[in-house]
Chain A
Amino acid sequence: MIPIELIQTTAADLMAKAAIEIPDDYHAGLKQAAKTETGPLANYVLNAMLDNYAAAKLDRCAMCGDTGTPRWYIKMGNEARVEGGPVALEAALRRATASATTDIPLRPNRVHPLWRTDHNNNVGIGAPEIEYAFEPEGDWLDLITVHKGGLFGTDYRMLFPSDGIEGIKRFYLDSLVAFGKRGLACQPAIIGIGLGGCKDTCMVLGKRAACLRTVGDVNPDPKIAELEAEFKELGNSIGMGAMGFVGKNMVVDCHIEAGYCHTGGMQMSVHAFCLSSRRAVARLFPDGRVEYRTDPDWFTDYQRRETVEWTG
């Protein structure tokens, strides 16, 4: 049984880690970008960002003043049991989100869409989002928090099989060019693309591709992996860099996730995980051990399973 108290304190720690410490994979990606950037203004911006990550870590201060919309991804091994059950788990995550908002502090971003009510703690109706997944083996629980920022950089479109790869490329470029101008997407970003599913799952796939896969990770389907590499290249050939200044770094990495869709359609979503690509992960065991990491390791073979039975 995983103690509920441990879940809540670990969750609060993760909130701080996500807000303050840029994950190593994205950090390395941005350093690489700064090395290759020849646009003088874009180059200045990338180096300022690198300074900013260092300042945030040193000062224990959120890296970006817009601390995004904190959310939770929970993954459980099939044998995992939580003290108090799933309702206690959700309460613990909501409490940790609220307390971390004051303690770090985070910006209380979450408000009611119409009445703009702000509880000043990032908790409200449907907030934070809590999503679940399971793995066939294990008694552990993974807590993953993502603080995605950005009102800009995300889009959805219903394409059709006849649109083909040319249509996919067009929508991809349209999204980057539209949201990259003036740097509204706070690029260079990790671009996540969802293909297929239904409209909602397509959005979910794309968002998870951006937020739950690390820089350098490739899709196990070699043809999709090729597309990922091609799209990264394509995005960086637009001629646009950080803040929409002339430059050659728009995409730190591109991840594509596919889901089976209606035979007539080819849904597509695009998501940009910004310069503050905030995520933090911990694995909790029943004996009280906690292992921190920054790779969510979300998309396992089991999560991408294709057939009726799982025979991994």
Chain B
Amino acid sequence: MDGIAKPREVRLSTTPTPETLAALQLGDIVTLDGLIYTAREGVYMRALEDGANIPMELPAESAANFHCSPAATIRDDGSFDMGAVTATASFRFAKWLPEWFDKSGAKLIIGKGGMSSKDYKDYFVPNGAVYLSTVGYGTGALLGRGIEKVEAVHWHAELGLAQAMWVIRACNMGPFIVASDLAGNCLFERENAKISAGLDAVYEGTRPAVLKRFGETDDRSDELI
């Protein structure tokens, strides 16, 4: 539809200064330049729980942690073939973040779906970090275009290709959307609140199921009928 307000677009380094991060607003569209590494549960567990040495200089080389498993293979000659990249849902990784921020000095956490404003306030704000969400979320081919080079893959033998730590050189890679700011505000919660206001009207003419489920009551001594 034409005539709709377009979001602001910003180009950002993957080792950003505090000032550039402070200037970001919820809903800004960001593209990235510099090194990005992928790290999700496999990397977190290996680095934090097993105490393995992180095979990169963090955050000097990169302060951008991508919750992602790329569609990629290692060719027989040791080079890489990376197609599309797409983030995976981040909320599951909250428990590792406080320690990970300590260890990695990450300033940009990139993923799918964001985290809660509580996570932002507890973990992100003290570390001066913000959350960037991929767009769609299926814009893998666009993101792939922003990959100048796959620099390395670490721990693929131990973790498999999907969980390995991929190091990507990004050039104007995006789009990403700013989902938290330095004050810990959450874009998704802001949108949820606007939508929730109209939900009662949408639910008119519906009825709760006669058979309940646990979860609809948290009292396990309740009967569900």
Contacts and interface: CB of A to CB of B under 8 A. Distances in A.
Nearest to A65: B86
A66 interface: yes
Nearest to A185: B137
A173 B204 CA distance: 11
Nearest to B207: A166
B195 A238 contact: yes
Nearest to B7: A44
A169 B205 CA distance: 8
B206 A173 contact: yes
B29 interface: yes
A111 B69 CA distance: 13
A109 B162 contact: yes
A113 interface: no
Contact of B84 (A61, A101, A239, A245): A61
Contacts of B140: 52, 56, 61-66
Interface stretch (B14-22, B56-64, B120-128, B186-194): B186-194
A66 B38 CA distance: 14
A186 B7 contact: no
B34 interface: no
Contact of B136 (A107, A169, A177, A243): A243
Interface residues of B, number: 60
B138 A51 contact: no
Given A109-B162, A116-B160, A238-B199, A52 B142 contact: yes
B84 A67 contact: yes
B206 A169 contact: yes
A159 B208 CA distance: 10
B6 interface: yes
Contacts of B135: 44-45, 48-49, 243
Interface in B167-194: 175, 177, 188, 191-192, 194
Closest 8 CB pairs of A and B: A65-B86, A65-B140, A56-B141, A170-B206, A118-B160, A166-B207, A64-B138, A65-B84
26 contacts: A35-B1, A40-B6, A40-B7, A43-B1, A45-B135, A49-B138, A55-B142, A59-B141, A61-B141, A61-B144, A62-B141, A63-B140, A64-B140, A66-B88, A105-B71, A106-B71, A111-B162, A118-B161, A120-B160, A152-B89, A167-B209, A237-B202, A240-B195, A244-B195, A275-B136, A275-B138
Given A36-B1, A183-B136, A243-B136, 6 more contacts: A34-B1, A62-B141, A64-B136, A118-B161, A118-B162, A245-B191
Interface of B: 1, 4-7, 27, 29, 68-73, 81-89, 112-114, 133, 135-145, 160-163, 175, 177, 188, 191-192, 194-195, 198-199, 202-203, 205-211, 213
